[in-house]
Amino acid sequence: MHTFGKIILLSVILWLAAGCNQSYNFFNGPFRHESFTGTVEELSFEPVDIDNLGIKELWIEDTLLFVAMYQNPEKLLSVYSLTDYRLVYDGLVLLGRGPNECLDINFVSSYTDSSGVKLWLTANVQSKMLCIDVTRSLSDEKLVVIKEIDLSLIEDSFSLFKVLVQSDTSFVLIKWYNNTQVSTYNPLTNKETLVGWLYTTDVDRRNITDLSAGFLLEPNKSIVASGMLFFDQINFYHFNDPQKSFSVSTAKEATHYNLVQPVEAAQRPRYYRMLCSVDEVIAINYLNKRNMYEEVSVENNYVHIVDWNGKFLRVLHLDRSFVGEAFDKRTGYLYGVDLETWDIIKYKIR
């Protein structure tokens, strides 16, 4: 073959390879392998003296531990002290349809200002958002809601999956269609602005839950991180500049969706779930290919500590089937639940 012909053939091969590589990542951004060469740290759990039965989720702000209790017939949310695990407020949010009662709640964000602790929640199947003045609620011994936003006014509100708070006048909306949409929303003007779509390919809407496992907003509030349950990768979506978005993984290649989708959900290898902000970086549970039937196994329970540039800083190996959800900045403990017993437990990670 002549030299010119070889050059043409090589160019075609490189073009095809680049095209295949570009379409290889299911997420809408380049895939990057990040190796971890450090020592895997072995950690043992410590019990938390809170006797609260059933499925629960946790949130921490300042010295308070918020416990959402989804199986309690009367109380959706109670508050405990992190200093001694004393019950501070039993039933801050009650289950019901009356004033200051909700049918369900989900944690969104929290902050502490000069007047005390504030907590954002979504409620009633994402139909509204509440900002609770926790400090006043504790002192007045009743729920004090300082802001309430009607999310049902959002276009296609039925598709709303997650709300992230940038400020009082700017939210990030995550919506599920046949793809996952990211937009910004001004609750004062009810104006929504499309940013983009997370994935390169649409799927049957029934399979949309195959894709992501949680969303976390970066401290500067311009990047959304999402772990993937059935894909071995963490995605970073820059919604101010989507062209900067990317995925990282300790795996050398991205997972093809056509290898994930045909496998029964219970049998699929699982990877990431439940992101948590820890000292301005990310802690995320890593399941290391366990399937649903192995969920409570004492093996293959990890936490990956990753920065917002996608670098793997630490790998922690845990002795329990643990979902870490809340970090105590003062003590360095990651709080969560034991998936076998649903007891609240903690790990010292700093």
pLDDT tens for 282-305 read: 999 999 999 999 988 888 899 999
**Residue 322 CB contacts under 8 Å (≥ 6 apart), including other chains:** 45, 285, 301, 303, 336, 337, 338, 339, 345, 347
* Tokens encoding 253: 């290649």
Sheet with 344-348: list strands edge to edge. 46-47, 344-348, 333-338, 322-328
Q: Whose structure tokens read 């509204």?
A: 128
Angle at 225 between CA 34 and CA 334, to 5 degrees: 90
Q: Choose which CATH entry (1.10.10.60, 3.40.47.10, 2.120.10.30, 3.40.50.10110) describes domain 28-348.
A: 2.120.10.30
Residue 84 is predicted with a pLDDT of: 96
Backbone angles phi, psi at 233, to 5 degrees: -165, 160
C-alpha span between 26 and 210 (Å, rounded): 12
- Express each pLDDT in 168-226 by its tens digit: 899 999 999 999 999 999 999 999 999 999 999 899 888 888 888 789 999 999 999 99
Which pLDDT score is estimated for 14? 42
pLDDT at site 4: 52
Residue 1 pLDDT = 55
Q: Assess whether pLDDT exceeds 50 at residue 20.
A: no
* This model's pTM is above 0.85: yes
Q: Say what percent of the chain tops pLDDT 90.
A: 80
Tens digits of per-residue pLDDT, 34-72? Answer: 999 999 999 999 999 998 778 889 999 999 999 998 888
Give the strands of the sheet with 191-197, arranged side by side.
Answer: 160-167, 170-176, 180-186, 191-197
Instruction: For residues 98 and 152, give the distance between their C-alpha atoms in angstroms, rounded to a whole number.
Output: 19
What average pLDDT is seen over the chain?
Answer: 91
If you ran DSSP here, which 8-state letter would residue 151 be given? G
Q: What is the residue extent of each domain of the chain? A: 28-348
Distance of CA 174 to the CA centre of its chain: 12
